[in-house]
Structure 1
Amino acid sequence: MHQEPDFLHNLHQELRDGRRWLDRSIVLAYAAAAGLCVVAFTLMADAGFELFQRIYRWQGGWAVLLWLPAITVAAVWATRRWAPGAAGSGIPQVMVTLDPAVSEHQRSRFVSLWLSFSKMALASAGFAAGLSIGREGPSVQVAAGVMHSARRWLGPHSGISSHALLVAGGAAGIAAAFNAPLAGVVFAIEELSRKLESRSSGLIIAAIVLAGLMGVSAFGNLSYFGRIRVPSLTWNALLPGLCVALASGVLGGLFAKVMAASLTSPAERMNRWRARFPLRFAAGGALVIAVIGLVTGGATFGAGSEAVKHMLAGEADVPSFYVTLKFVATWLSAWVGVPGGIFAPSLSIGAGVGHNVATLTGSDSIAPALIAMGMAAFLAAVTQAPLTAFIIVMEMVDGHAMVLSLMASAMLASLISRMLARPLYETLAHHMASALPGPASTQDPPEPAHAPGVPQQK
């Protein structure tokens, strides 16, 4: 027979180990600091984009043809000069550091306090330029760098590994950036760790929730896009919903394929020119982004959150070709080399897909539901992390009544994407690891992504 736990004895054992409680307190303190850094980054990014909007409204908007390339070139130069590890999204960098073959010295190339602060400043410059980037991916690297720095203060027998700190930090970044703690926990399991270490899983989840609470404390317990009104979905919504999921799956898969090819194929002609003349390439790409923004009346500048809010409110003023041009603007923004993520732009592209399907099928009464499904589907197709995608959207629109619809659209879109492209973040992470000197450069390519619903081992 199994002996019943002795409460008093176990309580005594817990309380007598002061060093363990000190280690736990250090981790939680750093989790709070990580959440506050993400809050500060949010404020910096918002201030940067507000500055851009003032420039855009000045002299009819034509000033952005000079402003956007100039700020982009400055950000690319500063990134290459002082913080090359901060370039790009930030999620692939954290995934590289989770590889056991990566040494502590190599890990410092991708996560550190210096890179966290550099990422905050340089990504904010990208927002000030008006690039089509998001702050959620960078928040993962920012928080992971802060959390990883806690390691120096932990005791040798703390049982809290660098791997656990990095997972907690990366997930805390998602939780604080989206004001969605549940999404942070799922992101830790699905995209970063694949599993949580049993010894420290409770502490990791507590750190994620605490970091998320920092965002709630700063911005209030409000959903990112407000609360959508979800009508009763009948069988008449099946065909439009299926169209949204299929279109988002194909477009998201193509987006992931194009992104991976652009960022990992040095032999390609444009990438050879980019490597030889990085600042000229950045200026040319930024000029194209500026022209696209002017053509769309400013709709493609920035993350696209305002456009999504207007769509959900039934006040969309974006052009019918918004999806295509936002797709191109986001791809070019990532390609020029400025630190910035693709989560928020992906949500706006998916929202555009849902809005277009609602318009074409005359489904105005269920347009908010189709827009939310498009957001979940496109993000799932790009990241091939359907659970994270649908939970993020569910928490961002307070769409608990749409759980099954969001889940189904995310799963279907992710399945279609897997037929077209390899997992984007894993592909980028493997490319970064292969460029490292030493054992990490000999790692085998990542295994093909698992089918939806099947646990993945790492």
Structure 2
Amino acid sequence: MKQLFAPLRRRFTSARWRTRLTLWIAATVAGLCVVMFARLADLALALFAQITSGCSWLALLLTPALGMLVVFLTRRLFPGSEGSGIPQVIAATRLSAAGKPVSGLVSLRIVLGKIGLGTLALTGGFSAGREGPSVQVAASLMHAAHRFLPNSRVIRVQDMILAGGAAGIAAAFNTPLAGIAFAVEELGRKLETRTSGVLLSTIILSGMIAIGVQGDYNYFGRLNAVADSRAIILPVLCLGLLCGVLGGLFSRLLLMPQRNGQHAVWRWRSSHPVWFAGICGLLVASLGWATGGLSFGSGYGVTNDIINHGQSIPWYSAPARFLATLATYFSGIPGGIFAPSLAVGAALGGNVAQLFDLAAQPIIALCMAGFLAAVTQSPITSAIIVMEMIDSHGMVISLMAVALIAKAVSSRLGPELYQQLALGYWRRRQRQQTDAVSATEPAKAQ
């Protein structure tokens, strides 16, 4: 009997299977952490709504105060956890490929900061999402798991980080297919053949964990849109151009601190980050107060009402969300732009449908995919995310088309947002490491 099971026992105790088990356990933990983050974000948004219900002026005090607190804690205790998280993951893959340390960009410390401070920022009503932060959270967990592999050379560190980032998208949006597309299109641009199967399985497993815990739901319900037809060609072209221009402008504005760092505003921001966060928080609160709360939070609630309940929204909803998201990003809090970008696209689509008396749901879906693709310049990922979130596979061709058109227009207005931001993190880490080496050389000489 022992001889009969000996080959099977050797197979499951081999380095290959121990590697797979390590990766799958890490993917499970990553999926559970992303789900926990989602639950905490929902509680934070509900708490903010409860606090400001009937006393909307409280946001003028709460939002700036929490923004200042979050930025203070971020810079003091959790540097590297600010912003979206996706640029940090991209930079970490590049640094690890060059053999450089990446603990300042992906680590267990950053997991705590990203979830805790990201949740606290949403309690203040900031226009931020949790999807980008979920990418950094999952990538950090997978990076930490690399040390437990039986043979660390079997899978490269950068591949672990890449797989973790994609698993974060899969779990955050409940769309494993979008996670795979994101891994190829945005994070890594390529996967090694020898490890792609195992790494893709971790992405799928993380997404399945999210589905198992939260149920097989669609993020914004089911959109009853018509299938692709010739009638959709003209709207696709027009909306692709519109979303490309607006999304490209949005992306270009987000890059202003990096591109124009010597401007007086951004120099003052570098010198007084906490006070700057307070000013940004006051701007976010003022926009939310003036619009009746339409620009507060991640935008899930408003977007869900637009898609599933046909709620008409005023013309200023999209511009207010646009500006609130810019102010939130400039503040330096941990928070992403995926969900707010989808909310801007949904509001824009609702306004266009009302203005031209068109069927609302297809136009909303097209604008969501188009605006997100223009901002991120990741058209395939954007189309898949929207298609999976609203469970409208009949629109796959039109969603892909509008995303590709919007990306083409946006690329004429500026570079890829995440890649450019990642370049900033990469250069900053290189300077820090160079300075550290320069500081140690005199000591050695003495």
Taking structure 1 as the reference length, the TM-score comes to 0.90
Whether the aligned pair in 1 keeps the contact of 2:35 and 2:171 (CA below 8 Å) is yes
Structure 2 match to 1:107:
102
AA partner of residue 156 (structure 2): S
Whether the aligned pair in 1 keeps the contact of 2:241 and 2:406 (CA below 8 Å) is yes
Offset at residue 432 of structure 1 (A): 1.1
Question: CA separation in 1, counterparts of 2:94 and 2:152?
Answer: 22
Structure 2 match to 1:19:
15
Matched, 1:205 2:229: no
* Larger relative helix fraction: 2
AA partner of residue 418 (structure 2): Y
- The one of 142, 147, 150 aligned to 1:152: 147
Matched, 1:165 2:153: no
Matched, 1:81 2:76: yes
Q: Map Cα deviations across residues 112-147 of structure 1 (whole Å, 9 max, x no partner).
A: 011011100011111101000000000000000001
Secondary structure of 2:404's aligned partner: helix
Aligned identity (percent) is: 42
Inter-CA distance 130–18: structure 2 relative to 1 (3 Å threshold): same
Aligned residue runs from structure 1 range 111-126, under 5 A: 111-126=106-121
Matched, 1:419 2:412: yes
Secondary structure of 1:155's aligned partner: coil
Whether the aligned pair in 2 keeps the contact of 1:173 and 1:211 (CA below 8 Å) is yes
Matched, 1:431 2:427: no
AA partner of residue 131 (structure 2): E
AA partner of residue 179 (structure 1): N
Inter-CA distance 110–323: structure 2 relative to 1 (3 Å threshold): same
Offset at residue 14 of structure 1 (A): 8.3
Question: CA separation in 2, counterparts of 1:323 and 1:304?
Answer: 11
Secondary structure of 1:131's aligned partner: coil
- The one of 286, 310, 324 aligned to 1:329: 324
Whether the aligned pair in 2 keeps the contact of 1:144 and 1:173 (CA below 8 Å) is yes
Whether the aligned pair in 2 keeps the contact of 1:228 and 1:399 (CA below 8 Å) is yes
Matched, 1:407 2:386: no
Question: CA separation in 1, counterparts of 2:229 and 2:434?
Answer: 52
Question: CA separation in 2, counterparts of 1:76 and 1:98?
Answer: 26
Structure 2 match to 1:385:
378
Offset at residue 237 of structure 1 (A): 3.6
Question: CA separation in 1, counterparts of 2:33 and 2:79?
Answer: 20
Corresponding residue pairs, total: 429
Question: CA separation in 1, counterparts of 2:432 and 2:16?
Answer: 33
Whether the aligned pair in 1 keeps the contact of 2:62 and 2:124 (CA below 8 Å) is yes
Whether the aligned pair in 2 keeps the contact of 1:106 and 1:436 (CA below 8 Å) is no
Taking structure 2 as the reference length, the TM-score comes to 0.92
Offset at residue 236 of structure 1 (A): 3.9
Q: Map Cα deviations across residues 251-304 of structure 1 (whole Å, 9 max, x no partner).
A: 000011010113453202210111121111111111111010011110110111
Inter-CA distance 14–268: structure 2 relative to 1 (3 Å threshold): farther
RMSD (Å), alpha carbons: 2.0
AA partner of residue 334 (structure 2): P
Aligned residue runs from structure 1 range 213-362, under 5 A: 213-231=208-226, 234-362=229-357
Structure 2 match to 1:371:
364
Q: Tell me which moved more, 100-109 or 141-150.
A: 100-109
Structure 2 unmatched runs, 5+: 1-6, 436-446
Whether the aligned pair in 1 keeps the contact of 2:228 and 2:394 (CA below 8 Å) is no
- The one of 71, 92, 95 aligned to 2:90: 95
Whether the aligned pair in 2 keeps the contact of 1:264 and 1:428 (CA below 8 Å) is no
Secondary structure of 1:436's aligned partner: helix
Inter-CA distance 263–88: structure 2 relative to 1 (3 Å threshold): farther
Q: Tell me which moved more, 141-150 or 348-357.
A: 348-357
Question: CA separation in 2, counterparts of 1:154 and 1:346?
Answer: 38
Structure 1 match to 2:31:
35
Whether the aligned pair in 2 keeps the contact of 1:244 and 1:353 (CA below 8 Å) is no
Secondary structure of 1:316's aligned partner: coil
Question: CA separation in 2, counterparts of 1:304 and 1:226?
Answer: 15
Q: Map Cα deviations across residues 401-424 of structure 1 (whole Å, 9 max, x no partner).
A: 000010000000000000001000
Offset at residue 204 of structure 1 (A): 0.7
Question: CA separation in 1, counterparts of 2:299 and 2:209?
Answer: 24
Structure 2 match to 1:64:
59
Question: CA separation in 2, counterparts of 1:439 and 1:131?
Answer: 31
Secondary structure of 2:430's aligned partner: coil
Whether the aligned pair in 2 keeps the contact of 1:131 and 1:289 (CA below 8 Å) is yes
Whether the aligned pair in 2 keeps the contact of 1:240 and 1:357 (CA below 8 Å) is no
Inter-CA distance 176–351: structure 2 relative to 1 (3 Å threshold): same
Inter-CA distance 334–441: structure 2 relative to 1 (3 Å threshold): farther
AA partner of residue 398 (structure 1): D
Question: CA separation in 2, counterparts of 1:26 and 1:369?
Answer: 43
Matched, 1:134 2:143: no
Q: Tell me which moved more, 264-273 or 433-442.
A: 433-442
Structure 2 match to 1:190:
185
Whether the aligned pair in 2 keeps the contact of 1:285 and 1:333 (CA below 8 Å) is yes
Q: Tell me which moved more, 298-307 or 172-181.
A: 298-307
Question: CA separation in 2, counterparts of 1:216 and 1:297?
Answer: 34
Secondary structure of 1:84's aligned partner: coil
Structure 2 match to 1:44:
40
Q: Tell me which moved more, 387-396 or 158-167.
A: 158-167
Offset at residue 104 of structure 1 (A): 5.8
Whether the aligned pair in 2 keeps the contact of 1:101 and 1:439 (CA below 8 Å) is no
Question: CA separation in 1, counterparts of 2:431 and 2:278?
Answer: 35
Question: CA separation in 2, counterparts of 1:104 and 1:123?
Answer: 30
Structure 2 match to 1:448:
none
Question: CA separation in 2, counterparts of 1:104 and 1:143?
Answer: 21
Whether the aligned pair in 2 keeps the contact of 1:244 and 1:357 (CA below 8 Å) is no
Question: CA separation in 2, counterparts of 1:234 and 1:99?
Answer: 43
